[in-house]
Amino acid sequence: MTESRPSIKELILVPSAITLAITLLRLVGELQNWGPPLFNKAAGGGGALIGISWLILVFGAVFGWRLTRAGHGAASPLKVSGLAFVIGLVVGFGSFGIGQLAGPNGFFGAFILGSIVAVVLTKSLWPELWQALLAYAFAARIPVALLMLVAIMGNWGTHYDVPPPGFPDAYSPFVKWVLIGLLPQMTIWIYMTVIGGLVTGGIAGAVAGKKS
């Protein structure tokens, strides 16, 4: 049975609310010094279990499933997954290679530029899923970017404001936020959300298509 096509708002509203709730839970856990395996304060989060990164794969699959069941799936969903995965690898390894030649700044710049290019290139793979993932990515990452600004200004000592090793101490809090907060959240994490979501969304779409 085919469902009616959900709007982007309908697709992302609950996932965005869940993501925000987990973001706030993560903040409270770090401020209260709860267990590091769940709430790691290290730069980048240290792979803590309470976080929103893994939600990319879950909600990408949910979006792909719902769109397919509503009759707006991709013609070849597994091809979408494969191409998205390849594009993600090219950006990652390409940025790493540039970093080996040009150093950390080169890697950072290449990763940001590659992220933007990858997001643009993947739009045609499955436009409906791509739009939902892009909207969800910004709904998830704008609150994190704003939270990082407040955390950096207040020097809270959480993973939201701790810079990576070797980060210059001379930068002002605002510049620090732009470099470790705003730019990564609005480019690299958007790319990771779109790419990861297309991979799992394609797989879920293939399964949903067989059940139609």
User: Whose CA is closest to 53, among 40, 66, 64?
Assistant: 40
Tokens in use for 179?
């470099």
pLDDT: is 21 or 210 the higher one? 21
Cα–Cα distance for residue pair 63/68, rounded to 1 Å: 8
Query: What is the reported pLDDT for 1?
Result: 47
14-28, 42-56, 150-164, 180-194: lowest mean pLDDT where?
42-56
User: Whose CA is closest to 68, among 125, 130, 2, 9?
Assistant: 2
Query: What is the reported pLDDT for 98?
Result: 86
DSSP conformational letter for 6: P
The count of other CB atoms within 10 Å of the CB of residue 105 is 9
* CB-based contact 173:179 (threshold 8 Å): no
| Cα distance between the two ends of the chain | 7
Query: What is the reported pLDDT for 100?
Result: 76
- Per-residue pLDDT tens over the stretch 89-113: 999 888 888 877 877 788 888 899 9
Q: Where are the alpha helices (DSSP H) in the chain?
A: 8-31, 55-69, 77-121, 127-154, 173-177, 183, 189-211
- Per-residue pLDDT tens over the stretch 191-202: 999 999 999 999
Cα–Cα distance for residue pair 130/146, rounded to 1 Å: 24
pLDDT: is 177 or 211 the higher one? 177
In whole numbers, what is the pLDDT of the chain averaged over residues?
92
Q: Which residue reads 């790319």 in tokens?
A: 191
pLDDT over 70, % of the chain:
97
- Neighbouring residues of 60: CB distance < 8 A, sequence distance ≥ 6: 129, 133, 193, 196, 197, 198, 199, 200, 201, 204
pLDDT: is 108 or 25 the higher one? 25
Q: Encode 151-172: b = buried (16+ Cβ within 10 Å), e = exposed.
A: bbeeebebbbbbbeeeeeeeee
Query: What is the reported pLDDT for 212?
Result: 58
- Per-residue pLDDT tens over the stretch 127-181: 999 999 999 999 999 999 999 999 999 999 999 999 988 888 889 999 999 999 9
